[in-house]
Chains A and B, each alone.
Chain A
Amino acid sequence: MYGFEALTFNIHGGFLEAIVRGHRSGLLTAADYNNLSQCETLEDIKMHLSATESVKKMYGFEALTFNIHGGFLEAIVRGHRSGLLTAADYNNLSQCETLEDIKMHLSATEYGPYLQNEPSPLHTTTIVEKCTLKLVDEYKQMLCQATEPLSTFLEYITYGHMIDNVVLIVTGTLHERDVHELLEKCHPLGMFDSIATLAVAQNMRELYRLVLVDTPLAPYFSECITSEDLDDMNIEIMRNTLYKAYLEDFYRFCQKIGGATAEIMSDILAFEADRRAVNITINSIGTELTRDDRRKLYSNFGLLYPYGHEELAISEDIDQVRAVMEKYPPYQSIFSKLSYGESQILDKAFYEEEVKRLCLAFEQQFHYGVFFAYMRLREQEIRNLMWISECVAQNQKSRVHDSVVFIF
């Protein structure tokens, strides 16, 4: 007669059965196999396999040792965060008549010292430049006081800007612009020493060999070195391939740090990866980019990986993209705000969602995510200021709220 094992099994077997069920939860999943099958070398496989162990580490004890190296800087960055512009500030600014008024309102905020010496006919680019300068100063102060692994983390934050700068200079050179003009337009956080030499390169192999091999971007190039000459299409593909490699590298780095940093940064980076996947899909609808090429540009982590990517790769218009995204609850709310055919509000909706997640990073203490969140929130603020200044300068104040994302 059977059916009564439950009464006596656990006397001898209960503990071991629980142990073996715990081990079973560590079996590799379909996502892990997909990751492994995309590895290039056995070293990559080793790295992926070690990542599957470290993510399951218990965390919660950062509070005991984080402050040894990171306590001061975390407090500094939280202080900086309290200086971000609020909704009231944005309302004041959006009611300004001229750029001089904007300068006056900003002088009451933390941007004051940076703008006060500007001579009278102000341009929007000057305002944006000075505000970016403030961000760069704060970043450099934090970087020079940081120890490992925080210093590497802070450097990772700037690689995205480096990629943008590289693409800017290469595209500009292609269109016969002057190098110095291009250098002025580069984002200061992404500058590196040999950046001016980029103008000399004719194809990607030279680009890599002459300049990029000495920069931190070197490991991201292995997938996209070809000898083709650079043209607009190639450059966009190069940008997206580099960015994909950068995001995956950053993600692995955060997983290696473990603990609260890994959890919070995974969430933020996964959203970034998904957002880029959607943007790549929408921007490549109707171009010559094949489905396989499109699939190669998607990152190998995030909520949409791997099934969402399969569906996005075959989407041919925005409504199909919407149908794919509505299957994922976190993105349903973004896409439900759009009426059919609207893609301009999509950008703003994505920015709002990003800002929401970045603000959540500050809810927890003793992790590095606050640094990343602060840098991104500042960049959003600078984008807001640029939009408001442009609207004021062109006398279109009614359109101010089209694109301003409030942070608090």
Chain B
Amino acid sequence: MVGSSSSWSTALVKISPYTFAAIGIAISIGVSVLGAAWGIYITGSSLIGAAVKAPRITSKNLISVIFCEAVAIYGVIVAIILQTKLESVPSSKIYDPESLRAGYAIFASGIIVGFANLVCGLCVGIIGSSCALSDAQNSSLFVKILVIEIFGSALGLFGVIVGIIMSAQATWPSKG
């Protein structure tokens, strides 16, 4: 590339692929846990308040909290998978296209999983809060709203699947 953009593209290309990979792993676990925690507090505060008048709802509605927690577990699993993909390459090959591709693949996988789990955790948390409040008023509503939550938690699963497929692309150049 020529012109003034070449300095930026050169700068980007000269960042070590290990940086991108490490940031990807951090985002995968960090942002997933953010989503899970956000969802758990949204559900939990409503659940505690509603259980004051209707103590029977507590055990059933822990399912909502568990769905939120699952989102964090997805983040951990993908982070562990991603970190096994990190390999050393000799320093002459760090900026090879193959290396860059592997680094970017791990970065993208981390972002995919992290942000999909963030919104999934939020979604499940908000629905779980409504579920607790509705269950306290009328217990036949619980199962119906749970179905909505199940659809919501599928979002995190989509993110994990695509993230794992992306990370399968992360093949570093072989030594020698």
Query: Does A76 lie at the interface of the complex (its beta carbon under 8 Å from any beta carbon of B)?
Result: yes
| Option from B41, B45, B122 in Cβ contact (under 8 Å) with A75 | B45
How many residues of chain B get a CB closer than 8 Å to chain A's CBs? 20
A68 touches B137 (CB 8 A): no
Q: How far is the CA of A67 from the CA of B129 in the complex (A)?
A: 9
Residues of B with C-beta under 8 A to A68: 41, 45
A365 to B45, CA, bound (A): 13
Q: Say how far A302's CB is from chain B's closest CB, in angstroms.
A: 31
Query: Do A64 and B122 have beta carbons less than 8 Å apart?
Result: yes
Question: Pick the contact of B132 from A75, A82, A83 — CB < 8 Å?
Answer: A75
- Contact: A75 with B130, CB < 8 Å? no
- Establish whether residues B53 and A71, one from each chain, have CB atoms under 8 Å apart when the complex forms: no
CB of A303 closer than 8 Å to a CB of B: no
Instruction: Give chain A residues whose Cβ lies under 8 Å from the Cβ of B122.
Output: 64
Residues of B with C-beta under 8 A to A80: 53
Q: Which of A79-101 contact B (CB under 8 A)?
A: 79-80, 82-83
Cα separation A246 to B136 with both chains bound (whole Å): 35
Q: Which residue of A lies closest to B126 (CB)?
A: A63
0 or 1 for each of A55-76: is its CB under 8 Å from B? (1 = yes) = 0000000011001100111111
Judging by beta carbons under 8 Å apart, are B133 and A72 in contact?
A: no
Give the Cβ gap from A211 to chain B, nearest Cβ, in Å. 38
Contact yes or no, A63 B42, CB < 8 A: yes
Query: What is the size category of the interface that chain A forms with chain B?
Result: 10 to 19
Contact residue among B38, B49, B130 (Cβ-Cβ distance under 8 Å from A79):
B49
- Given the known interface contacts A63-B126, A67-B41, A365-B130, the answer about A79 and B46 at a Cβ–Cβ threshold of 8 Å is no
Residue from A74, A75, A76 whose CB has the most chain B CB atoms within 10 Å:
A75
Determine whether A78 belongs to the interface, using a CB cutoff of 8 Å to chain B: yes
Which of A64, A73, A83, A365 is the one whose CB lies under 8 Å from B133? Answer: A365
Q: B126-141 CB contact bits vs A (8 Å, 1 = yes)? A: 1001101100110000
Contact with A along B38-62 (1 / 0, CB 8 A): 1001100111111011100000000
**Beyond known contacts A67-B41, A71-B41: 19 more, CB 8 A cutoff:** A63-B42, A63-B129, A64-B38, A67-B46, A71-B45, A71-B46, A71-B49, A71-B129, A74-B46, A75-B45, A75-B46, A75-B47, A75-B49, A75-B133, A79-B136, A80-B53, A82-B53, A82-B54, A82-B137
